[in-house]
A = this chain, B = another copy of it.
Amino acid sequence: MSVRHFVGDQSVANTPDQDRGLAYGDGLFETMRAHDGDVHWWPAHWRRLERGAHALGIALPDRARVRHEAQALLDGAGGVLKLIVTRGVGGRGYAPFDAISPHWIVSRHDAPPAAPADGLTLRWCDTRLAVQPALAGIKHCNRLEQVLARAEWRDADVDEGLMRSTEGDVVSATAANLFVLHDGRWTTPAVDRCGIAGVCREWAIDALQAREARLAVTEVEAAEAVFLCNAARGILPVARLGARVWRPHPQVAQLRRRLAAEHPAFATEVA
């Protein structure tokens, strides 16, 4: 892992004291798959970052400068590039005014493991996602719900956990979006009340002409096929959810091949 910090357009050595990201989670992040020194889905990641910055009233650093620093850090390699943008230092207590220079951090990490060929094993999480339309969809840094949900199991045989909202709708996995197939039609949970509008989710909605809707637990368990996705790992077939078992589905395999053809980082993962 290597990391660089900036405040506005200035390079700095560390997280500044009184950074609002540390105090309140007052920031946004993107986790991006890199390949050959660049981020293939950069435009989509930046668009989501802009939506989040608009929702929170956070000033973004210069886009070209961020991409330049990201490429410098990648230095021709791949892996995962993480970008955090906090509101920076300033304001009085919660009041965010006068915190004008964002603190931003780029860091490079190893690529995550490829999707297991035989599919993921999932569980249901007890921790719920609170319904909060003002924060839904954006990838902000208030992530205690995901931390609590992911802390529910240490069993290495369980790969991910599905989360419901406090109202009972299925929303997503702790760190991936969810798609389910019924009667030839793909559905992914709407993220207008809670959850994150993932960049790979956006790609898959377009690729599958999927619909966004509220989704019940029974609709997941009755699905003909299920996959998870995120921008770091791509399309992740699901094989098990508790006692429910799914066989590999040709539509999921086809989608993985399509992603491999469009996104160079995933090309090597599909034989």
Contact = CB atoms under 8 A, between A and B. Distances in A.
Interface residues on A, range: 35 or more
A149 B148 CA distance: 25
A19 B103 CA distance: 14
A96 B151 contact: yes
A94 B22 contact: no
B18 A3 contact: yes
Contacts of A154: 97
A40 interface: no
Interface stretch (A133-141, A200-208, A235-243): A133-141
Interface stretch (A23-31, A42-50, A63-71, A217-225): A23-31
Interface of A: 1, 3, 13-15, 17-27, 29, 56-57, 84, 86-87, 93-97, 105, 107, 127-128, 130-132, 134-135, 140-151, 154, 166, 174-175
A151 to B, nearest CB: 5
Contacts of A97: 151, 154
Nearest to A146: B94
